[in-house]
């Protein structure tokens, strides 16, 4: 399975491929260059706002869901996860890397926290197949 890129690496590679500098990107997506420079250097977390991540994706011509997931967020297109328990369980098993997890009871659910009124999953290291920090 091909490993997804972490947010900063994904953005840096795309900027390089398109010949974009930091200031040009930041002007195009309305971000502070000082802040975003720290994000790209790994000193700050990626923006958490959906709209900002979508602007970055659109400006860099990247898939918005991939950018959002690489930033450690859940795209709004995936809202069914909150209401469809079998889907959530299937996704959880996939990121755990097994069809059934021997150390979890069948009804166990992944840990969640709430951020900006939406649940945010905390997933173990096997989820890294989707990016350094899936959620």
C-alpha 87/C-alpha 26 separation (Å) is 37
pLDDT reported for residue 109:
46
pLDDT at 1 over 50: yes
The three-point CA angle 21-17-4 to 5° equals 110
Q: What is the pLDDT of residue 128?
A: 38
Confidence band, pLDDT 50/70/90 cuts, at residue 23 = very high
Residue 122 near residue 114 (C-beta atoms within 8 A) = no
Q: What percent of the chain has pLDDT over 90?
A: 61
> pLDDT per residue over 34-46, tens digit each?
999 999 999 999 9
Residue 33: helix, strand or coil by DSSP? helix
Domains and CATH numbers, the chain: 7-70 (1.10.260.40), 77-130 (no CATH)
Model confidence pTM above 0.85: no
């Amino acid at each position: 399975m091909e490993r997804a890129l972490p947010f900063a690496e994904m953005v840096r590679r795309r900027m390089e491929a398109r010949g974009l500098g930091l200031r040009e990107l930041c002007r195009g997506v309305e971000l502070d260059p000082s802040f975003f420079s720290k994000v790209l250097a790994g000193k700050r977390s990626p923006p958490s706002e959906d709209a900002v991540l979508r602007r970055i994706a659109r400006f860099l011509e990247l898939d918005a869901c991939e950018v959002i997931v690489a930033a450690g967020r859940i795209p709004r297109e995936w809202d069914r996860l909150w209401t469809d328990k079998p889907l959530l369980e299937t996704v959880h098993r996939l990121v755990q890397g097994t069809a059934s997890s021997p150390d979890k009871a069948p009804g166990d659910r992944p840990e969640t926290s709430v951020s900006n009124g939406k649940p945010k999953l905390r997933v173990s290291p096997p989820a890294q197949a989707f990016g350094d920090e899936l959620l």
